[in-house]
Amino acid sequence: MAGLGKTTLATRLYNDSYIVSYFYVRSWITISQVYHKRDLLLDMLRSVVGITDEVCVMNDNMLAQLLYRALIGRRYLIVIDDIWSSKAWDDIKICFPDDNNGSKVLLTTRFKDVALHAEPGGNPLCLRFLTEEESLDLLRRKALITPRFFDYLSLIGKSIIRKCHGLPLAIVVIAGLLKNNPERDWWLHVAESVSSYIVTSENQCISTLALSYDHLPQHLRPCFLSFGAFPEDHEIPVHKLICLWIAEGFIHLNGTNKILEDVAEDYLMDLISRSLVVVCKKGLDGSIKTCRIHDLLRDICLSKAEEINFSSNMHKYNKHSFSCSHSSTSSTKSQLSLSTSAVLAIPPSCSCYSSEVSHTFFKDVSIIWDTSKLIRSLDVSSIELFVFPDELLQLVHLRYLELRFRSGNPPECISDLRELQTLIMSSRINMVVPKNMWKMISLRHLCIKSGENPVNFSSFEEDLCEIRWLDR
């Protein structure tokens, strides 16, 4: 059953101070229903030895051998979260050497036969539903209600947790509605609204969890629904998420003295406090770096988006967003087709994601748009381009753009994108920023990821909220 706490338990183990000191190497990968072996190998290598250009061009067998050599002789802990099939385990198990030195591989899965396939004759830990006492204690702690106030709310609390049927995720999400609010009338209202269905299937569980969306303030609803744009179990960089929210017009100042970025961060913290968004990684200063949502909550995002026509194509989103054809001959022009039938579109916007073609080089790219020019957000950084696609200049309403070049510079005419707020570009070698880029009066964030040579700013202004240039 989803939401029983498998990933939560694995996370507590993974981050335990004794575990951290005992294992020389730790790596965490999430597989989910749709996976690609190459992505899994690269994710593990990224945390074990790091990723270089030489590693990126290796085939799957070479990557597996490199990972095996990196782990051999070292005591390691590999967490494989949310594995759905025995085949997925068979694809990667050869990468883990058995040196009898205390190394461990920890799996979380919804299927007992997958666990037994990984270790025949083993005794996998099957998580149970919480008892009424455990459920009530979890509700109190997550709702941040002191024992003194909770005493006279306990009868209502028992009514609520009975309808959650011991599912930790449901209890935590409902607690987000009750957090810091000991008003008896509000608790009664929530108790009456919680689905009374017996939780025997995920669909019935979703009807309980959807209550949190129904009680979201209007300004948070589009922000929450936007999480459906990202792949299942995908860790989302907070900086990118905030820029996309601003680009889509989800953030409103409403007379405050804060800037849009600060308001967007407040929105995110509100969603986190409601237990709708999970914090994945934090920086040394305590700031949130990445976040994600539970796959059941993502299902709610997709169903609600379709229900209210927030996005007519969000439910069609998948990792195979790109339809590409290319040839090694320079005379053949490659085509990159982006259509609303295959690419997530949040009207009037478009956001693209693909990992399958992340290391494909396109020497001459023709982008075929089967959608409106009213696109606001576009991320094609998973493809390494040789030139800046002229077709992008037609998207005059573009507010967020992320690109990756093998070499080359953005053209002078990029300043025609007057509405652009966030521009993220990366290149293997030195990149020259054209002078007239500073005429883009809406530009708020400029991030340049340069190669071995420093970025050459032919002109420099300090009008932006943020200017970043990074050496890879």
Per-residue pLDDT at 335 = 44
Per-residue pLDDT at 312 = 38
Establish whether domains 6-118 and 315-471 are of one fold.
no
pLDDT of 206 > 90? The answer is no
More confident residue, 391 or 87: 87
Cα–Cα dist 455/430, whole Å? 6
Is the distance from CB of 139 to CB of 160 less than 8 angstroms?
A: yes
Q: Please report, for the chain, the start and end positions of each structural domain, with discontinuous segments joined by +.
A: 6-118, 132-214, 226-297, 315-471
pLDDT band at residue 452 under the 50/70/90 scheme: low
Helix (H) or strand (E) holding 76: strand 76-83
Query: What does the pLDDT average to over 121-147?
Result: 89
Per-residue pLDDT at 163 = 81
pLDDT of 455 > 80? The answer is no
Q: What is the mean pLDDT of the chain?
A: 78
pLDDT of 326 > 70? The answer is no
Q: CA quadruple 353, 357, 360, 364: dihedral positive or negative?
A: negative
Query: What does the pLDDT average to over 297-309?
Result: 86
Cα–Cα dist 381/399, whole Å? 16
Query: What does the pLDDT average to over 266-290?
Result: 89
Q: Give the Å distances, CA to CA, from 124 to 75, 85, 87, 156, 408.
A: 22, 15, 18, 36, 53
Cα–Cα dist 256/180, whole Å? 24
pLDDT of 44 > 50? The answer is yes
SS3 278: strand
Per-residue pLDDT at 233 = 78
In CATH, the number for domain 315-471 is: 3.80.10
Of 96-100, 201-205, 437-441, least confident by mean pLDDT is 201-205
pLDDT band at residue 329 under the 50/70/90 scheme: very low
Per-residue pLDDT at 117 = 92
Per-residue pLDDT at 441 = 85
Tokens of 202: 């995920």
Per-residue pLDDT at 313 = 37
Query: What does the pLDDT average to over 37-65?
Result: 88
Residue 50, CB-side half-sphere exposure with 13 Å CA sphere = 4
Tokens of 403: 């690109």
Domain 6-118 has CATH 3.40.50.300: yes
Q: How many helices (H) and strands (E) does the chain have?
A: 17, 17
pLDDT of 134 > 70? The answer is yes
* Report for 112-121, 161-170, 342-351: range of highest mean pLDDT: 112-121
Per-residue pLDDT at 80 = 94
Query: What does the pLDDT average to over 338-342?
Result: 36
